[in-house]
């Protein structure tokens, strides 16, 4: 697969609970940095449960690995003063990009708590507090958020986030390019023109992928499920098949106008880079 077009790429990491895990994360980031990504992002646990680890990881990736890094920031369970403090800390450290999310509800919490309940309110808060200092990314769900009442309601939620001041969006991962193109078409018809970057999940472990996909509402097409099931514990065949399937999907997305790709690394370099190199666009 080759093309003359260059497309920006970015990569997501999650803060680890152990020093050994953190060392592996930083090592993977150094490998990925050679591809000159546009930015890294770092997730933020439910209810701010990884706040300190997120901050430390963001600053290390940004200042030591020297790739611009965007912290995820969620509003569930956080007071405005806590959010204000984090924003000031990031701004003073030279961070220029934020991924603004409602955030996952902590286990046992039936509904959102805190002074801000929805991502569009968080986007508006960031704009009011910091002006245009941050490039603000928001989430998009081409197959609809798993807690959405229906697709139309989820589309309205996304439009509210965009109009609150978001600069661009990163999608939940998916395995069907048509759902991405349909989502973008609907958004454009609504008059929203911010870039919508596909989120890409490499396939390396079927059992974990199936469990996670079921919980976050990402559909694995039946033919992919059946092929992965057929490989059983053959991890090499799963990885090879996964690279091929995801590479073809990414090729179609980029050829269809997607403005870039955002890889969910799971703190590993090779699965994402195997796809990127397979595209021949590096």
Instruction: For residue 12, indicate whether it is catalytic.
Output: yes
Q: Which residues pair with 39 in a beta bridge?
A: 10
- Torsion angle of C-alpha atoms 85, 88, 90, 91, degrees rounded to 10: 170
Q: Determine the structural domain holding residue 109 and report its residue range.
A: 9-279
Rounded Cα–Cα distance for residues 76 and 47 (Å): 6
CA separation for the pair 216, 239 (Å, rounded): 22
Residue 215: the pLDDT is 86
Rounded to two decimals, the pTM is 0.92
> What is the number of domains present in the chain?
1
| Active-site residue identified among 4, 12, 121, 124 | 12
CA–CA gap between residue 102 and residue 124 (Å, rounded)? 12
Alpha-helix residue ranges (DSSP H) falling in the chain: 19-33, 51-60, 80-92, 119-130, 151-163, 177-189, 206-216, 222-231, 235-255, 270-279
- Asked, for residue 28, whether it belongs to a domain, the answer is yes
Among 9, 59, 8, 5, smallest CA distance to 202 is for 9
Residue 1, Cα to own-chain centre: how many angstroms? Answer: 25
Distance CA 268, CA 243 (A): 14
Q: Say which CATH number the domain at 238 has.
A: 3.20.20.220
Our CA angle for 218, 222, 224, nearest 5°, is 85
Q: Which long-range contacts (CB under 8 A, 24 or more apart) does 209-218 make?
A: 215/146, 216/146, 216/172, 217/141, 217/143, 217/144, 217/145, 217/146, 217/172, 218/143, 218/172, 218/173, 218/174, 218/175
Task: Please check whether residue 4 lies inside any domain of the structure.
Answer: no
Residue 72, domain member (yes or no): yes
241 and 227 Cβ atoms separated by less than 8 Å = yes
- Partnered with residue 169 across adjacent β-strands are 138, 196
Long-range contacts (CB closer than 8 Å, 24 or more residues apart) made by 132-135: 133/91, 133/96, 134/87, 134/90, 134/91, 134/95, 134/96, 134/97, 134/98, 135/70, 135/96, 135/97, 135/98, 135/167, 135/168
Q: Is 252 part of a structural domain of the chain?
A: yes
Evaluate whether residue 3 is within a structural domain. Answer: no
Q: Which 3 state secondary structure label does DSSP give 193?
A: coil
User: Tens-of-pLDDT digits for all 282 residues of the chain?
Assistant: 333 346 799 999 999 999 999 999 999 999 999 999 999 999 986 555 567 889 999 999 999 999 999 999 988 777 899 899 999 999 999 999 999 998 766 554 445 456 788 999 999 999 999 999 999 999 999 998 888 889 999 999 999 999 999 999 999 999 999 999 999 999 999 999 999 999 999 999 999 999 999 888 899 999 999 999 999 999 999 999 999 999 999 999 999 999 999 999 999 999 999 999 999 876
Is 178 inside any structural domain?
A: yes
Rounded CA-CA distance 53/62 in Å is: 14
């Amino acid at each position: 697969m080759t093309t003359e077009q260059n497309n920006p790429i970015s990569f997501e990491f999650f803060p680890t609970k152990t020093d050994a895990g953190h060392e592996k994360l930083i090592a993977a980031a150094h490998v990925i940095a050679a591809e000159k990504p546009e930015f890294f992002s770092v997730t933020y646990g439910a209810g701010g449960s990884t706040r300190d680890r997120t901050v430390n990881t963001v600053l290390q990736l940004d200042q030591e690995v020297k790739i611009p890094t965007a912290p995820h920031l969620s509003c569930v369970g956080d007071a405005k003063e806590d959010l204000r403090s984090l924003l000031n800390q990031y701004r003073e450290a030279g961070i220029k990009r934020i991924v603004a999310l409602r955030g996952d509800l902590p286990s046992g919490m039936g509904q959102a708590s805190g002074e801000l309940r929805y991502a569009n309110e968080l986007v508006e808060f960031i704009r009011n507090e910091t002006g245009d200092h941050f490039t603000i990314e928001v989430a998009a769900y081409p197959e609809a958020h798993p807690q959405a009442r229906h697709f139309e309601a989820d589309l309205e939620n996304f439009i509210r986030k965009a109009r609150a001041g978001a600069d661009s969006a990163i999608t939940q991962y998916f395995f069907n390019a048509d759902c991405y193109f349909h989502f973008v078409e609907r958004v454009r018809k609504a008059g929203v023109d911010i870039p919508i970057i596909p989120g890409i999940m490499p396939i390396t472990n079927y059992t974990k992928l199936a469990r996670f996909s079921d919980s976050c509402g990402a559909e694995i097409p039946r033919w992919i499920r059946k092929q992965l099931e057929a490989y059983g514990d053959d991890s090499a065949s799963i990885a090879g098949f996964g690279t091929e399937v995801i590479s073809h999907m990414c090729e179609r997305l980029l050829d269809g106008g997607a403005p870039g790709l955002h890889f969910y690394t799971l703190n590993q370099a090779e699965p994402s880079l195997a796809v990127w190199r397979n595209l021949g666009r590096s």
